[in-house]
Structure 1
């Protein structure tokens, strides 16, 4: 069974890798956006799905990764790889410095605190001359969409393999224990503070790398777009829609919702947002554990799966 899953996974990656050669330019650009959103959802899955801390601060990591690339390439004339590394360093430093105090909070207090971080970073970067202040920075153009596509796909594969490793590692078991019962995990000997900060930093690494790739691809960056809270909401919705706390759930969610959003935007432009919102609400009510749980259990329970979820929500 595991062999067949590995073969199917390799076939899917190979098919996706060939898109720049058999797909249109529009499909490649759509693919870059979707793959990067999947990376962000997978990164959030580490801190939100496995650790149980619903972070609204991953957009800060995304912004720091974007500015790391922009500052390195524009201000210091360094190569793109150095910019990516600089962005990761900024994200990890941020996670270590603020992770300890912020991760002491729980529930909606933690969510509100991380939500405020994005606003604070926007204000700070807007006043830093090195970062272009409110005007932003213009990166040197590189018209090579296939390269950005393959970079995005490679990053998604790396993020997914990391999450798969979590499901089998001592570190991952510790995160799941924190999610289920943090006090109980501490009693059992789990260093909850260390594990939470490490998960926060690991989540930030993938968000920062995605931000750096996106910044170089679009060649322009300003504080509002770099630390956009709406992007954080998207990654959470995609992870939850696909199945938070699973290996492939965020990927399935990102691909599914990106396709739905693109279809609605092209076919029903005036009401796309309304229909998209309706899809999300219906999904949360009918399949609160995501698409992966639906695919696993629907074959056995059929329509009763949806009825049980509706009853659970007392609708």
Structure 2
């Protein structure tokens, strides 16, 4: 069974990797967006799914990664990979400095605190000359969508392997203990502050790398687009839709919802947002623990699974 699952995953990865060879330009561009959203959902999964802290601040890491690449390439004329490392370093520093005090908050207090971070950072960057202030920065163009696609896919593989490592490591078990009962985890010897801060930093690194790749791909960034809180909402929805606290749930959620969103936008543009919202609401009611939980339990419970969820919501 395990061998068959591994072979299936490798086959799926091979198909995804081959898209630039047989796919159209539109499909490749859609793939880049979908893969980067999957990376963001997987990054959020570390702090939100495993540690249980619903962060609305990951868009700050995305913006820092974008500006790290933009500043390195447009202002300092450095290579792209240096900009990626610079953006990731900014994300780690920010996660440590902000995470230490903010992660002491819990529940909606933590969510509100992280929600404000993106707006504060956008205001700060808008007044920094090196970052182009409100005007933004233009990066040197590179018309190579297949390269950006493969980079996005590689980053997604790295993020997923990291989450898989969490399910097998003492650090990951510590995060799960924090999610289930933080006081109990502390009593058992888990350094909760350190674990949460490291999880915040790991989450931030993947978000920053995704932002850096996207910035070089679109060749332009400004504070509004780089620190867009709507992007944070998307990554949370996709992670929750697929199944938070699982290895492949956020990936499946991001890719499937990206496909639905693209289909609705192309077929019924004026009502795409409405239908997308309805799909998300229905999914949350019928499968509140995500697609991963459906696949795990549907075989044994059948359609009763959805009926039980409906009753639990008193509908």
Category of TM-score, reference length = shorter chain? over 0.9
Q: Describe the superposition over 1:123-147 as per-residue Cα deviations: whole angstroms up to 9, x where unpaired.
A: 0000000000000000000000000
Cα distance between partner residues in 2 of 1:260 and 1:295:
19
Cα distance between partner residues in 1 of 2:124 and 2:161:
35
Q: Secondary structure at the match of 1:18?
A: helix
> Is 1:38 matched up with 2:32?
no
Q: Which consecutive unaligned segments of at least 5 residues does structure 1 have? A: none
Q: Describe the superposition over 1:33-79 as per-residue Cα deviations: whole angstroms up to 9, x where unpaired.
A: 00000000000000000000000000000000000000000100000
What residue is the counterpart of 1:156 in the other structure? 156
Structure 1 residue 97, shift from structure 2 partner: 0.4
What residue is the counterpart of 2:219 in the other structure? 219
Q: Secondary structure at the match of 2:93?
A: helix
Structure 1 residue 8, shift from structure 2 partner: 1.0
Q: Which consecutive unaligned segments of at least 5 residues does structure 2 have? A: none
What residue is the counterpart of 1:58 in the other structure? 58
What residue is the counterpart of 2:96 in the other structure? 96
Q: Secondary structure at the match of 1:105?
A: coil
Structure 1 residue 7, shift from structure 2 partner: 1.1
> Is 1:307 matched up with 2:307?
yes
Cα distance between partner residues in 2 of 1:154 and 1:98:
29
Q: Describe the superposition over 1:137-159 as per-residue Cα deviations: whole angstroms up to 9, x where unpaired.
A: 00000000000000000000000
Pairing 1:131-150 to 2, within 5 Å after superposition:
131-150=131-150
Tell me the C-alpha RMSD between the 2 structures.
Answer: 0.5
Pairing 1:107-256 to 2, within 5 Å after superposition:
107-256=107-256
Structure 1 residue 242, shift from structure 2 partner: 0.2
Structure 1 residue 82, shift from structure 2 partner: 0.2
Cα distance between partner residues in 2 of 1:217 and 1:270:
27
Cα distance between partner residues in 2 of 1:2 and 1:82:
39
Q: Describe the superposition over 1:1-52 as per-residue Cα deviations: whole angstroms up to 9, x where unpaired.
A: 2221111111111110000001100000000000000000000000000000
Q: Which moved more, 1:162-171 or 1:1-10?
A: 1-10
Q: Which moved more, 1:296-305 or 1:138-147?
A: 296-305
Q: Describe the superposition over 1:197-251 as per-residue Cα deviations: whole angstroms up to 9, x where unpaired.
A: 0000000000000000000000000000000000000000000000000000000
Q: Describe the superposition over 1:94-148 as per-residue Cα deviations: whole angstroms up to 9, x where unpaired.
A: 0000100000000000000000000000000000000000000000000000000
Cα distance between partner residues in 2 of 1:225 and 1:285:
31
Cα distance between partner residues in 2 of 1:3 and 1:97:
43
Cα distance between partner residues in 2 of 1:302 and 1:89:
47
Structure 1 residue 181, shift from structure 2 partner: 0.1
Cα distance between partner residues in 2 of 1:290 and 1:158:
22
Structure 1 residue 298, shift from structure 2 partner: 1.4
What residue is the counterpart of 1:76 in the other structure? 76
TM-score by length of 2: 0.99
What residue is the counterpart of 1:267 in the other structure? 267
Structure 1 residue 92, shift from structure 2 partner: 0.2
Q: Describe the superposition over 1:166-217 as per-residue Cα deviations: whole angstroms up to 9, x where unpaired.
A: 0010000000000000000000000000000000000000000000000000
- Equivalenced residue count is 315
